[in-house]
Structures are given as C-alpha cells and as structure tokens.
C-alpha cells in the first residue's frame, strides 16, 4: 500500500536508482493499494524531516510496517516501534517475511 505523496516521492527518486528500478516500479505500481495521505496525527511527534512527515503519518494511519531505503531521515526510527509502527529497511522486511514463511 502507498499514498499519492509516497508515489510522488518514488517518482522523484527513481533516477537515483539503477535503470531496472523504473521497469520494476511499473510492475509494482499496478499492484499497490492507494490510500489517502495523512498530514497530521493526534499524538505528540518529534520528527525533524518535515518533508517525510506525510510518509510517517500515513504509514502510522494505514500500515503496521514502513519499509524505506531512507536511512538518513528514518534511521533514528529503525528497529524501534513508533506508536506501534515498525520502520525497517527492505532487506530486513524481506528477511522477516522469509523467516515467517510468508515468501520464498
């Protein structure tokens, strides 16, 4: 699942990834459930990267796990629950899913 804000973020960053990422994104994009963006929460939050708050807040509203490559902005939240939301890198997510038997 993703939000329109997340989709725009992916599109802005595709040029920084290997060329195969664009074709992979085309396949993945069609499989996403698009949820509304969330820009505020009813809890105290200290999270400095303002541009990434909609990503964090939307994940908190709609998901159990936020999977991100953005170690610079989300690194402080990695492997620590944020109001119950887990923030992990893709490799850690895939490893956990394989260990749980949910993917080969």
User: Would 104 be classed as within a structural domain?
Assistant: no
User: Would 71 be classed as within a structural domain?
Assistant: yes
Q: What is the pLDDT of residue 80?
A: 84
Measured CA to CA, the distance from residue 58 to residue 85 in angstroms comes to 11
User: Would 43 be classed as within a structural domain?
Assistant: yes
Q: What is the pLDDT of residue 49?
A: 76
User: Would 25 be classed as within a structural domain?
Assistant: yes
pLDDT in tens, 39-91: 999 999 988 878 999 999 999 999 999 999 899 999 999 978 899 999 999 99
Measured CA to CA, the distance from residue 42 to residue 60 in angstroms comes to 11
Measured CA to CA, the distance from residue 69 to residue 78 in angstroms comes to 11
Cα-based torsion angle of the residue sequence 55, 57, 61, 66 in order, rounded to the nearest 10 degrees: 50
The model's confidence at residue 103, banded by pLDDT at 50, 70 and 90, is: confident
Q: What is the pLDDT of residue 27?
A: 93
* Average pLDDT, integer, range 21-37: 94
**Residue 65 structural domain:** 4-99
State pTM to two decimals. Answer: 0.86
């Amino acid at each position: 699942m993703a939000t329109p804000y997340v989709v725009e973020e992916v599109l802005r960053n595709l040029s920084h990834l290997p060329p195969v990422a664009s074709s992979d994104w085309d396949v993945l994009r069609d499989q996403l459930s698009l949820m509304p963006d969330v820009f505020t929460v009813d809890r105290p939050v200290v999270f400095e990267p303002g541009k990434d708050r909609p990503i964090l807040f939307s994940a908190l509203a709609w998901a159990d796990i936020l999977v991100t490559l953005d170690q610079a902005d989300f690194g402080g939240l990695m492997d620590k629950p944020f109001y119950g939301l887990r923030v992990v890198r893709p490799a850690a997510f895939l490893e956990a899913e394989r260990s749980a038997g949910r993917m080969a």
